Structure 1
Amino acid sequence: MTELVNYLKEGTLPEDEKEARKLRLKARQYELMEGILYKRSFLTPWLRCVGPLQAEYVIKEIHKGSCSMHAGPRSVVAKAIWLGYFWPTMHKDAQNMIRKCSDCQTHRPVTRHPQQPLTPITAPWPFYK
């Protein structure tokens, strides 16, 4: 993200032509307003790009906050986007955070699959006299 911010502020591109082209294409989706990076979105006007610490706080507040419902990662990410936040690893971060939540692990649905595959027991019926 720092290369992107530097490009939007000062117009500096990396030395490698391929990387410079990728950065120029990626920069079309972003805008720097008053020192804050925003991403264009189809659903909302602008999504504010946040760093790792702010992203962790946003996930915690949505998942464990005062009006939380301990929802899954998909709905946590959807709510974060709806609130106007964005960061590149939001799906992975939400999934890792929810896996660490002790309440969610305690009350999650119990899987009904056996730990090991069932082994069939053959009956000696054909040899029975």
Structure 2
Amino acid sequence: MPWFSEIANYLAREQEPLKFTGNDKKKFLKDVRRYLWDEPFLYKQCADNIYRRCVAEEEIPGILFHCHGSNYAGHFAVSKTVSKILQAGFWWPTMFKDAHSFISKCDPCQRQGNISKRIEMPQNFILEVEVFDVWGIDFMGPFPSSYNNNTTPFHLVYGKPCHLLVELEYKSAWAVKQMNFDVKPTAERRMIQLNELDEFRHMAFENSKIHKERTKAYHDRKIIPRTFAANDQVLLFNSRLRLFPGKLKSRWSGPFTIKEVKPYGAVVLWSHDGSEFVVNGQRLKPYLAYTEIPEGEDVSLGEPPRA
């Protein structure tokens, strides 16, 4: 039964709907005033005072395809697609919702666009438990060439030479004699300072954890939440096309099937030849199933089903 069967039966044969009491009755009588039955079609008076034919559910995919996905449609967004449907003289209650769902599953539309900051992966921070527990290195550059100017990149950046510490000699006995001739009180004070240092480390760890949790929450609040699972279909962004873009060539390849989702944003994919490879999850986006109507197939928009 089409969605407008109760309205058509009421206008054609004055047959009341099943739920014709209370607020449902008031709403139905209010809505039915804007419909016109001209056998065998039902028309709806839209906001621009133009009557458009109401279509059944089985006709909607064909209309959406011809107004969005065909060669002459142009793959426009939701508003433009609905505008074409209205210009063609069709109407149904959930046009915008159905158009959005259809466009989100359109294969050519899913292969458009670029990677933005909003589709980054969630932040994973690192906490240092012990001193020198985690070593890191920062890369800087590019630096100006130091050829024939007798200087170093460090001097070009900071304006002073770099001195690396090679060896440090600490004469503990000499320092004890100079600063404090009594070794026992000095050792006791040093033990107290070491115990106090453990407390400092504990507080520093807690403060660092709180700060990084806030930083992660601030970062993740600005990105689009995405979750991947095994056997999901995804599209892979080809970053090489950023440097060498082809004319009218999509930057998204696939679809690929996810084999495994690893921690910290790594995702294992199955390739088309059966092999597997690991990519960054930031370069992926979900691929929705797409049901394509073959080009040249006729979609009947004639006799609607009897109400």
Q: 1-side partners of 2:113 and 2:56: how far apart?
A: 30
Q: With structure 2 as the length reference, what TM-score do the two structures score?
A: 0.37
Give the structure with the larger helix fraction: 1
Which structure ranks higher in relative contact order (CA pairs < 8 Å, sequence separation ≥ 6)? 2
Of 102, 106, 116, which aligns to 2:111? Answer: 106
Compared with structure 1, are the counterparts of its residues 71 and 27 closer, same or farther at alpha carbon in structure 2 (3 Å cutoff)? Answer: same
Mapped contact 1:44–1:84 kept (Cα < 8 A): no
Task: Please give the residue correspondences for 1:48-59 in structure 2 after superposition, counting only pairs within 5 Å.
Answer: 48-59=53-64
Q: Say yes or no: does 1:115 pair with 2:121.
A: yes
Q: 1:16 to 1:48 in 2, by over 3 A?
A: closer
* Count of residue pairs brought into register by the alignment: 121
1:22-45 CA-to-partner distances (Å, cap 9, x unmatched) read 211111110001220000023362
Instruction: Give the unaligned 5+ runs of structure 2.
Output: 126-307
Instruction: Specify the code of the residue in structure 2 equivalent to 1:62.
Output: C
- Give the alignment of 1:11-50 within 5 angstroms: 11-14=14-17, 16-18=20-22, 19-43=24-48, 45-50=50-55
Distance 1:62 1:97, change over 3 A: same
Q: 1:7 maps to which residue?
A: 10
Q: Is the CA contact (8 Å cut-off) linking 1:13 and 1:20 kept in structure 2?
A: no
Equivalent residue runs for 1:63-102 within 5 Å: 63-102=68-107
RMSD: 2.1
Which runs of 5 or more residues in structure 1 are unaligned? 120-129
Larger Rg: 2
Superposed CA deviations along residues 58-89 of structure 1, whole A, max 9, x for unmatched, are 10001111212111112111211122110111
**Structure 1 runs (4+) greater than 3 angstroms displaced:** none
